[in-house]
Amino acid sequence: MKNFWVWLGLIAFVGTYTACSGVRFSKQVDVKQFGNACQQQSDSKVFCEGTEFVSGGKVDVLIVNDNSASMSFEQARLADRFNKFINLLDGKSMDYRIAVTTTDISSSTNLPRAINQNGALQDGNLIAFPFGGKYVTQKDGDLNQRTAWFNTVIKRKETLDCEAFIVDWVNSGKSLESTEYTSQYVDKCPPTDERGIYAANTVLQKNPDSFIRPEADLAIVFLADEDVRSQLYHYNYPGYELSEMDKAATLVSNIKTLFPGKAFGVHAIIVKDASCLSQQNAQTQGIVNGSYGWEYHNAVQQAKTAMNAMGFPADVTSKMVSGDICAGDYTAQLNQIFDNINGQVKDSITLGCENPTELVVTLSTSDASITHSVVGTTLKFNKKLPVGTSVSYRYSCPI
């Protein structure tokens, strides 16, 4: 009887071992070299499959805010709509940074002083948010907090103070031609010499607080009711020529040189037509005038050309915006700006081998124009995949 139980136990052990040992091939390989989602299928190939979900990409957003007199209306409009486009970015799971600088550049006639926080608002410096950081991210507070912080930064106290000073001066009946007015204007107002492209170029060169990440897309948004240097360069006004740092071409060149291969967009909310120009000229009792945003518009156009030359499709570059600063609601313009970011998320997946066979790729998007190809070990798509796209793939690798 004892021998019977010994033999029965041996048979059970052998049966269990055989059942658990799996399929064995005469040629064994380390499948981990092909990726975690791969397994050996035969002596001649490994089978791999996987699914990737396209969440939001990374984007750094620089807003160049004209903080001169007459801009309080436009700053308020942007602030009022900020929560909508932040909510849009949050909904796309975007990893974003948003920073603000001003159009104020120091010079021999525009030295650091109290009105520009002794230089803190000049020369491409990023304005500190109330929580202390120089840019706001999706991890900073909740939507209401981020909105409140942005409102504090975009609605400039120096702009409001300057406008109040001008209105009070006019209402008092004092002369605008007096040396007293000129002297007090310097103390109470930001400069009339707005140089937004210069400021943006300085941010690119200094990259304060490491705001611009090498791996992130970049969006630059100009908000200005006057052109660079109030368009006086166009009329050869002495001392107001465009320096290289004021030019749209320099902005695009700096982005390409300092951040090679980076996807970027340039957008401008500016004066575009005669009706808007008339509205701007009527503000602050008609004392501070606007001008067409020619050089800012030029920056948008040159950015489009550069991105097209880099191989980005027209449906991405066409969304760069020259918007209307006189629009009552900036929501549509902001949505178009951030729809552009939506199209710059993911365009490739790394495979476990070169020249895979039996490749099948399935996308959840309904965009039938998206195609794929294999270059080396990279599965490439002809355009950036929209956020929310699910990519399922399977293929075999020869051993």
DSSP string, 133-188: -SSEETTSS-HHHHHHHHHHHHS-HHHHHHHHHHHHHHHTT--TTSHHHHHHHHHH
Give me the percent of the chain exceeding a pLDDT of 90.
Answer: 62
The verdict on 329 and 213 lying in the same domain is yes
CATH number at residue 283: 3.40.50.410
Same domain, 191 and 260: yes
Q: Do residues 298 and 380 both lie within one domain?
A: no
Residue 10 lies in a domain: no
Judge whether 11 lies within some domain: no
Predicted confidence at residue 11, as pLDDT, reads 40
Residue 142 lies in a domain: yes
Question: Has residue 6 been placed in a domain?
Answer: no
pLDDT of residue 341: 60
Question: What CATH code is carried by the domain that includes residue 361?
Answer: 2.60.40
- Write down the pLDDT at residue 84: 80
The pTM for the full model equals 0.76
Contact between residue 39 and residue 177 where contact means Cβ atoms under 8 Å apart = no
Question: 237-270 in b/e burial notation, b at 16+ Cβ within 10 A?
Answer: eeebebeebbbbebbbbbbbeebeebbbbbbbbb
Average confidence (pLDDT) over 191-196 = 94
Angle (CA) 349 351 352, round 5°: 155
Q: Give the mean pLDDT of the chain.
A: 87
Regarding whether 104 and 76 lie in a shared domain, the answer is yes
Residue-wise pLDDT for 115-157, tens only, equals 999 999 999 999 999 999 999 999 999 999 999 999 999 999 9
- Residues 317, 368, single domain; the answer is no
Between CA 304 and CA 361 the distance in angstroms is 31
Whether residues 325 and 271 fall in one domain: yes
**Judging by DSSP bridges, how do beta strands 264-270 and 217-223 pair with one another?**
parallel
| Shared-domain flag, residues 288 and 179 | yes
3-state secondary structure of 42: coil
Residue 171 forms part of a structural domain: yes
- Are 374 and 354 members of one domain? yes
Does 63 share its domain with 28?
A: no
Strand pairing category for 372-375 and 378-385: antiparallel
Instruction: Work out the average pLDDT over 154-169.
Output: 95
66, burial (CB in 10 Å: exposed 0-12, middle 13-18, buried 19+): buried
Q: pLDDT tens-digit profile of 250-274?
A: 999 999 999 998 889 999 999 999 9
Which residues does 299 contact at the CB level (< 8 Å), separation at least 6? 197, 222, 248, 251, 252, 266, 268
- Same domain membership, residue 316 and residue 206: yes
Q: Examine the fold and report which residue of 342, 359, 381 is the final residue of a domain before the chain moves on.
A: 342
DSSP annotation of 211 reads -
Q: Is residue 18 part of a domain?
A: no
Helix extents (H) in the chain: 2-20, 72-91, 143-154, 157-171, 179-188, 196-206, 248-258, 274-281, 294-309, 314-317, 331-342
**Are 85 and 165 in a shared domain?**
yes
**Residue 346: which residues within 8 A CB-CB, separation 6 or more?**
52, 54, 57, 384, 385, 389
Q: Tell me the residue range of the domain where 353 lies.
A: 23-54+346-398
Q: Is residue 3 part of a domain?
A: no
| Number of domains making up the chain | 2
d(CA 303, CA 293): 16
User: Helix 157-171 crosses helix 179-188 at what angle (to 10 degrees)?
Assistant: 160
Among 312, 342, 372, the domain boundary falls at 342
Count CA atoms within 13 Å of residue 199 on its CB side.
35
Higher local confidence (pLDDT), 366 or 325: 325
Query: Does one domain contain both 193 and 233?
Result: yes
- Any idea what the Cα angle at residue 65 is, between residues 156 and 160, rounded to 5°? 25
Domain assignment present for residue 5? The answer is no
Position 339 scores a pLDDT of: 65
CA distance 283 to 116: 22
Q: Quick one: which of 342, 267, 324, 331 has its CA closest to 84?
A: 331
